[in-house]
Structure 1
């Protein structure tokens, strides 16, 4: 069953290449090419994804089998949630879309809906504050744009 890991690794390499290419579409940072800009974190993710994918191709798990039971369905649901997360990021904003995505994923993993969506809200707010104030990288506010401080 090592073939499954290799297929997944090749698909993830293709995703890493597409994701890395997408980072080249970000505008040039104000301080020039040497400064940290909005493309820095996605490029780091691209490198991690590519290296992890190469590892799967070179050293696959010998006992791997695709989970076609409930686990497989949950994986498909997670992918759908993440696709909707990217689609809703701009219109709803980072905090609300993160609340929905993290909350839904936590709920699917067994948390009660209240705890799951509370976790999503805390995650969205904390990460937003870290990016906006500690890293000085703006994230979209979307529907919450009335909170924007001038």
Structure 2
């Protein structure tokens, strides 16, 4: 069933192009001459997704049945979690949204609730600190905006 991989590859290329176009719509930073701007990481992700998708189209897996059993349900749940994550990123902020999304996905993969959400919280805080302080790229704080200095 190489047809499934090819359809998925084409859909992922469409997603990658839309993602790259969305990154091109970011406002230009003051001065505009920075080598690394807010669009750099999305551009890299978009390029990797295009290359991976092209590989799926050119060299599909010869035996890839769609997982309509429990695995298919888990994939649908993962997509719903990621869509909710995107919708809640601004209002709740990066740390809380990431805690909920990563925690839920870890739980669905078999971790206990406590371990899953502790992992989500650690991931949210660590990635937030790396982006805000090491990379200088601001992530939304949402309901935690009272933590902003200033």
**Common fold by TM > 0.5:** yes
Structure 1 runs not aligned, ≥5 long: none
Query: For the residues of structure 2 that align with 1:109 and 1:132, how far apart are their CA atoms?
Result: 29
User: 1:29–1:35: 8 Å Cα contact kept in structure 2?
Assistant: no
Q: 1:24, CA displacement in angstroms?
A: 1.1
- What's the Cα RMSD here? 0.8
What is residue 44 of structure 1 aligned with on the other side?
44
Q: 1:33, CA displacement in angstroms?
A: 4.3
What is residue 105 of structure 1 aligned with on the other side?
105
Deviates more, 1:69-78 or 1:33-42: 33-42
Deviates more, 1:36-45 or 1:67-76: 36-45
**Deviation above 2 Å: which 4+ runs of structure 1?**
none
Q: What does 1:24-39 align with in structure 2 at a 5 Å threshold?
A: 24-39=24-39
What is residue 54 of structure 1 aligned with on the other side?
54
Query: For the residues of structure 1 that align with 2:41 and 2:143, how far apart are their CA atoms?
Result: 24
Query: For the residues of structure 2 that align with 1:148 and 1:27, how far apart are their CA atoms?
Result: 22
Query: For the residues of structure 2 that align with 1:67 and 1:95, how far apart are their CA atoms?
Result: 32
The number of residue pairs the alignment matches comes to 150
What is residue 86 of structure 2 aligned with on the other side?
86
Would you say 1:119 and 2:119 are equivalent positions?
yes
User: 1:4–1:64: 8 Å Cα contact kept in structure 2?
Assistant: yes
Query: For the residues of structure 2 that align with 1:72 and 1:16, how far apart are their CA atoms?
Result: 23
Q: Could you tell me the TM-score, scaled by structure 1's length? A: 0.97
Secondary structure (helix, strand or coil) at the match of 1:137 reads coil
Query: For the residues of structure 2 that align with 1:25 and 1:87, how far apart are their CA atoms?
Result: 19
Query: For the residues of structure 2 that align with 1:74 and 1:43, how far apart are their CA atoms?
Result: 29
User: 1:29–1:36: 8 Å Cα contact kept in structure 2?
Assistant: no
Structure 2 runs not aligned, ≥5 long: none
